[in-house]
A and B are shown apart, each in its own frame.
Chain A
Amino acid sequence: MDLQIALLLGQDGITNGAIYALLSLALVLVFAVTRVIYIPQGEFVAYGALTLASFQAGKTPGTLWLLIAAGIAVAILDLHQVLRARTLRKIPRIVGWNLLYPAIAAAVVFLLKPGELPLLAQIILALVLVVPLGPMIYRLAYQPLAEASVLVLLIVSVAVHFAMTGLGLLFFGAEGSRTPAFSDASFEFGLLTVTGQTVWVLGASLFLIVALYLFFERTIYGKALRATAMNRTGARLMGISTVMAGKLSFLLAALIGAFSGVLIAPITTIYYDTGFLIGLKGFVGAIVGGLGSYPIAAAGAILVGLLEAFSSFWASAFKEVIVFTVIIPVLIWLSLTTRHVEEEE
């Protein structure tokens, strides 16, 4: 390996690592607020990428039907609850978000012919379809089990992952897709050639991380989420509902996931089940941070990206094996440093 190759691999690693870092932040957030180990995070990556690819192929993405179906299911459950508790003033919100919003989205998709729109509009439309699925899935799968143990929630996560992967196959078929790059520019820095897409990925990831930081530090809703993560009872006593916090964190996670998918789709071919592996690499980063620390998780994720890039050069067949065995030293380190006195359930 010469320096040029090393630089190239480094660039690849950091680009992918930036995406893993975004995902690891979402995973830490969801776990802190809801205790859910969010395995289906990767499916949002695939859904985001493949919805965009469908638009570009001039097809109607299946995620639209899923949005409509999930909206109807949520509306039925929520309306049932509202009618029983006689809190009728909540009805407009429920109908608006779960029935009206998907209907409008459908109308937009059918009227605008997204295949002919500029890339930016296509991306926004893809996010419009995929992101609301996050809180809807929270409502349908997790909210009824909010008090269950971490173990039960984890099994639910795996079940959601299963269903979403199957649906992904149904919507997008078994063939992979790759979307065109955001820009064709490339920059020369001595030996290193940096592609426009790399700059986009790094810039967008950095922007998203800063935006998230400001959200958590400066806004009352961001603080409310942190409060729920620290002390659920205390937060409820301030009027911060656990359900609201759960839906909000799932919304953010879905946004991060789908957006990551849009970013990575020009770099890697995305299949209906690729998201899972990408999400798990984010997990390896999150585990490095003990599922608790945002900065360590992000750093760990970038390390995963680098490791992946370099191992694909030396031992490409064993790339995945090497990446997932990284967690062994991490686990050793964690078990040596944490004194664990905890009662499950």
Chain B
Amino acid sequence: MAPRLLLGIFLALVAVAPHVVSEFHVTLLNYIGLSALVALGLVLLTGVGGLTSFGQAAFVGLGAYATAYLSIGEGLPGWLSMLGGSPWLGLLVGLLVTAVVAYVLGLLTLGLSGHFLPLGTLAWGLSLYFLFGNLQFLGGHTGLAGIPALSLFGYPLKEGRSFFYVIWGVVLGAVWLSKNLLDSREGRAIRALKGGVVMAEAMGVDTTRSKTVIFLVAALFSCVSGWLYAHMQRFVNPTPFGLHLGIEYLFMAVVGGAGHVWGAVVGAAVITVLKQWLQDLLPSLLGASGNFEMIVFGIMMIVVLQRAREGLWPMLTRLVPQRSTPSAIEDAPALARKALPEPGKVLLEARSIVKRFGGLVANNNLDLTVKAGEVMALIGPNGAGKSTMFNCISGVDSATEGEVLFCGQEVTRLNSRQIARLGMSRTFQHVRLLPAMSVLENVAIGGHLRGSKGVFPAMLHLERMEEKRLLAEAARQVERVGLKDSMFEAAGSLALGQQRTLEIARALCADPCLLLLDEPAAGLRYLEKQALAELLRKLRSEGMGILLVEHDMDFVMGLADRVVVMEFGEKIAEGLPEEVQRNPAVLEAYLGGVD
């Protein structure tokens, strides 16, 4: 059965469900939908983005309380009371407040190590719960009752059965928006957050912004869930917005499959049903009343994380045949290119670079220039400081002393994102790619700066033309480096040499004028090396400047125009390949000498 058919069956089931199941089960399905919406946000945040939050229940609470307070409309100050009574105002205000809180929380924690966001949300989740319980105008621990029913086009939705369609309509809409977002330029940046931050920054992605985006989206989904909850229950109190619920939402995402949007729905269903069942079963089994399902959930989570960290969804998808992978990419008008500089023009000039790590001097007083249309090779024994130099030039790290000029502009203190924008693109010594993403998508990350459409167009898929052009450009680069046959394969399944080649394609996708390659030939077979050398010669003839760190001397000597040799962080020789090869200091550096 094709996945599309399965989706169709699922939608049909959703459509008929309220008419065939009991009132009790409709309510259960409504709760599943409300939870799925929150869990969906956590899928984006945790499974895709590698961040997490324990405070989603508090965002649900914000949504619920905002609409409860505003739509009841009692006790509102005069100038607001005329707006009171409308659930839609409640929704709007709830979303606004949530966005502000999430933005501030993100601002505080997202620049720190990954564990500060969850700790921050832990504190926030707890605080808000106590706040709801202690603010008199929100009813304290008793809460607020008498919330008006939602009405759509004049039909009041007072029953669970009619409300079912609203909830599941919103859930399916959110799934659609999320899938669209992930399948876009912004989505690739988001998917790079987990394990690819340094790479993504070097490709010009503002990763802090991407983190903020998914945290905001997750918080807003939760807020909508709270809004729906309030108008379904017609009553709110602080209990369902406590920290334990926040943790349960996370369990839903992880159990269902935190890496997949449908995992949220599966997880919400499993946990909600299980909770219902355990709350009946355990107290009679144990002879005491209380939330004993916590014990089962806790142990279940540990087992899931130890044995099946991907959750249930991948197990389910294994039961049905996979969607056939696309075999071709649609052609689209090429993206605009920067004009390449005149051959011979100095592109990069590093002056007296010093880099110290504590007491260790990794680079000492290094000078280096690269011109347009030449291949400059940087060689030297292990530990000579070549990669450090690369990092200083490309802004991954910054030099302790000295200055770097790129295209005549001082870039010494700029970060890698800003430098990428100026037209420098690089590969990494230890391959940095996203193994689960296809070769094509990995390369398309390189083109990040050549697109401009943001999150909202992406969610609504209004950016399809730009996306087509980006993918077509990525496909051209994949083809150019000779990986056409593996275009739709997962990047992690390639051999190491091909992964390095993929990195070159990704760098080229950024349309650079200077290319920094860190050991591009390592792990390549003889014919592949020749093909690579051919490609680099062609790029050089087009006027690109190439700076190369490489250990394969046959490769370097056959290709480079000039060579700089480093040892102990210093330059020991510079010149034409033949000169360098005969230089006694170079021989000594490579083979060593005792006397």
State yes or no: do A and B touch (Cβ within 8 Å). yes
Chain A residues within 8 Å of B, Cβ to Cβ: 37, 140-141, 144-145, 148-152, 154-156, 158-167, 169-170, 173-174, 277, 280, 283-284, 287, 291, 317-318, 320-321, 324-325, 327-328, 331-332, 334-335, 338, 340-345
Find out whether the CB atom of A170 lies under 8 angstroms from the CB atom of B50: no
Measured in the bound complex, the distance between the Cα atoms of B197 and A39 in whole Å is 27
Give the chain A neighbours of B111 by CB distance below 8 A. Answer: 335, 340
Give the chain A neighbours of B124 by CB distance below 8 A. Answer: 324
Within 8 A of A (CB), among B73-126: 108-109, 111-116, 118-120, 122-124, 126
Which one of B302-310, B446-454, B475-483 is at the A interface?
A: B302-310
Find out whether the CB atom of A327 lies under 8 angstroms from the CB atom of B50: no
Measured in the bound complex, the distance between the Cα atoms of B419 and A197 in whole Å is 62
Find out whether the CB atom of A169 lies under 8 angstroms from the CB atom of B292: yes
25 A-B interface contacts by CB (under 8 A): A37-B118, A145-B306, A151-B118, A154-B118, A155-B254, A155-B301, A158-B301, A159-B297, A159-B301, A166-B291, A166-B292, A167-B295, A169-B292, A277-B126, A280-B122, A287-B119, A320-B126, A320-B130, A325-B127, A327-B123, A331-B120, A335-B109, A340-B112, A342-B113, A344-B194
Q: Known contacts A155-B301, A318-B131; is A170 also within 8 Å of B109 by CB?
A: no
Give the chain A neighbours of B247 by CB distance below 8 A. Answer: 158, 162
Q: Known contacts A170-B290, A327-B120, A342-B113; is A144 also within 8 Å of B130 by CB?
A: no
Find out whether the CB atom of A170 lies under 8 angstroms from the CB atom of B108: no
Give the chain A neighbours of B339 by CB distance below 8 A. Answer: none
Give the chain B neighbours of A145 by CB distance below 8 A. Answer: 305-306
Residue of B nearest to A137 (CB): B302
Find out whether the CB atom of B114 lies under 8 angstroms from the CB atom of A344: yes
Measured in the bound complex, the distance between the Cα atoms of B298 and A340 in whole Å is 33
Give the chain A neighbours of B54 by CB distance below 8 A. Answer: 158
Find out whether the CB atom of A284 lies under 8 angstroms from the CB atom of B305: no
Find out whether the CB atom of A340 lies under 8 angstroms from the CB atom of B292: no
Give the chain A neighbours of B134 by CB distance below 8 A. Answer: 317-318, 321
Q: Known contacts A145-B306, A159-B251; is A320 also within 8 Å of B292 by CB?
A: no
B428-448 near A? 1/0 per residue, CB < 8 Å? 000000000000000000000
Find out whether the CB atom of B294 lies under 8 angstroms from the CB atom of A166: yes
Find out whether the CB atom of A341 lies under 8 angstroms from the CB atom of B295: no
Q: Is the interface of A mostly helix, strand, loop or mixed?
A: helix
Taking the complex as formed, is B156 at the interface, i.e. its CB lies under 8 A from any CB of chain A?
Answer: no
The 7 nearest A-B residue pairs measured at CB: A163-B298, A166-B294, A162-B298, A166-B295, A159-B301, A324-B123, A317-B134
Measured in the bound complex, the distance between the Cα atoms of B282 and A19 in whole Å is 35
Q: Is the interface of B mostly helix, strand, loop or mixed?
A: helix
Interface extent on B, as a size class? 35 or more
Residue of B nearest to A150 (CB): B115
Find out whether the CB atom of B195 lies under 8 angstroms from the CB atom of A345: yes
Residue of A nearest to B193 (CB): A344
Measured in the bound complex, the distance between the Cα atoms of B291 and A251 in whole Å is 28
Q: Which of A140, A159, A327 has the most CB of B within 10 A?
A: A159
Give the chain B neighbours of A340 by CB distance below 8 A. Answer: 111-113
Taking the complex as formed, is B52 at the interface, i.e. its CB lies under 8 A from any CB of chain A?
Answer: yes
Measured in the bound complex, the distance between the Cα atoms of B293 and A174 in whole Å is 15
Find out whether the CB atom of B109 lies under 8 angstroms from the CB atom of A152: no
Residue of A nearest to B298 (CB): A163
Residue of B nearest to A320 (CB): B130
Find out whether the CB atom of B286 lies under 8 angstroms from the CB atom of A170: yes
Taking the complex as formed, is B288 at the interface, i.e. its CB lies under 8 A from any CB of chain A?
Answer: yes
Task: List 20 additional A-B contacts (Cβ < 8 Å) besides A159-B251, A162-B298, A340-B112.
Answer: A141-B302, A154-B52, A156-B301, A161-B298, A162-B301, A165-B294, A166-B294, A277-B126, A317-B130, A318-B130, A320-B127, A321-B130, A324-B124, A335-B108, A335-B111, A335-B112, A341-B397, A343-B198, A345-B50, A345-B195
Shortest distance in angstroms between A90's beta carbon and chain B's nearest beta carbon? 22
Give the chain A neighbours of B26 by CB distance below 8 A. Answer: none
Measured in the bound complex, the distance between the Cα atoms of B396 and A188 in whole Å is 62
Give the chain B neighbours of A148 by CB distance below 8 A. Answer: 305, 309
Measured in the bound complex, the distance between the Cα atoms of B114 and A320 in whole Å is 25
Measured in the bound complex, the distance between the Cα atoms of B290 and A101 in whole Å is 31
Residue of A nearest to B124 (CB): A324
Give the chain B neighbours of A321 by CB distance below 8 A. Answer: 127, 130-131, 134
Taking the complex as formed, is B184 at the interface, i.e. its CB lies under 8 A from any CB of chain A?
Answer: no
Residue of B nearest to A158 (CB): B247
Shortest distance in angstroms between A296's beta carbon and chain B's nearest beta carbon? 16
Shortest distance in angstroms between A27's beta carbon and chain B's nearest beta carbon? 11
Find out whether the CB atom of B195 lies under 8 angstroms from the CB atom of A343: yes
Shortest distance in angstroms between B403's beta carbon and chain A's nearest beta carbon? 20
Taking the complex as formed, is B250 at the interface, i.e. its CB lies under 8 A from any CB of chain A?
Answer: yes
Q: Known contacts A321-B127, A331-B120, A342-B113; is A162 also within 8 Å of B288 by CB?
A: no
Measured in the bound complex, the distance between the Cα atoms of B51 and A331 in whole Å is 17
Taking the complex as formed, is B46 at the interface, i.e. its CB lies under 8 A from any CB of chain A?
Answer: yes
Name the contact of A156 in the complex, choosing from B109, B113, B119, B305 (C-beta under 8 A).
Answer: B305
Give the chain B neighbours of A335 by CB distance below 8 A. Answer: 108-109, 111-112
Measured in the bound complex, the distance between the Cα atoms of B195 and A93 in whole Å is 40
Shortest distance in angstroms between A318's beta carbon and chain B's nearest beta carbon? 6
Q: Known contacts A162-B301, A167-B295; is A151 also within 8 Å of B46 by CB?
A: yes
Give the chain A neighbours of B130 by CB distance below 8 A. Answer: 317-318, 320-321
Within 8 A of A (CB), among B146-204: 194-195, 197-198
Give the chain A neighbours of B112 by CB distance below 8 A. Answer: 331, 334-335, 338, 340
